[in-house]
Structures are given as structure tokens and as C-alpha cells.
Amino acid sequence: NAGVTQTPKFQVLKTGQSMTLQCAQDMNHEYMSWYRQDPGMGLRLIHYSVGAGITDQGEVPNGYNVSRSTTEDFPLRLLSAAPSQTSVYFCASSDWDRGNSPLHFGNGTRLTVT
């Protein structure tokens, strides 16, 4: 199984540009989430979803939109990129029905906004 797949691996944007970070999982997990990680820091939760059609905000949601139209996909949209959004973005999924199941992470998208 591929697990959690994130694309692209690297991206450079100019301030004001928009883009979508893709995340797909093939484990039929109901729960998916997006984190960002800044240099030397832990991960901060941006948005999460407990199933198709359901999304909610995490710790740092401003500047990001999400939607969940299918179980497999959970894209993260930056509508107008800012240099403060330069970071590494991780997508994760888990089996929601098993409340204590661990998160499975993708390998990240490294975004630079100039």
C-alpha cells in the first residue's frame, strides 16, 4: 500500500499566488488532517476532517481552506500565499472508528513563498 501520498514534494510560490497541496490515502481512513512544521518547531494542526463532507479548524487555520469530497482525498488550499506560510506541510490520516489508532503521515510538501 502507498499509505499517505503528498504532492508536490517541493513548491516555490510568489506572494499572492494560490495553490493546492494534494493529499491522498489508500487505507480507507475516515480521519485526515494537515499540519505545518516550521524550522526547529513541532507540528501545528491546521485543519482536520472526520469524514467526507466534514471539516474543522485546528490550531492555525488562517490563510488555508480545505474540503473533503471523498474519503481518499483532503486537499489544502492557499488562496493568497504569504511569506509567513513558508513551511513544511504534512498530511496525516487515521482510522477514526478506532479512537486511539495512530496517525499515518505523508512525507511532506516543502513550500517556499517569496
Partner 1 sequence: DAKTTQPPSMDCAEGRAANLPCNHSTISGNEYVYWYRQIHSQGPQYIIHGLKNNETNEMASLIITEDRKSSTLILPHATLRDTAVYYCIVNKKNAGNMLTFGGGTRLMVKP
A 10 A CB-CB count for 88 gives 15
CB of 17 to partner 1, least distance (A): 24
Q: Residue 83 carries which DSSP code?
A: G
Name the one residue in this structure whose C-alpha cell is 499566488: 17
Q: Which is nearer to partner 1, 52 or 104 (CB)?
A: 104
Q: Which is nearer to partner 1, 9 or 15 (CB)?
A: 9
Residues binding partner 1 (CB under 8 A): 4, 31, 33, 35, 41-45, 48, 50, 58-59, 88, 90, 92, 94, 96, 99-108
CB of 45 to partner 1, least distance (A): 6
CB of 34 to partner 1, least distance (A): 12
Q: Which is nearer to partner 1, 65 or 96 (CB)?
A: 96
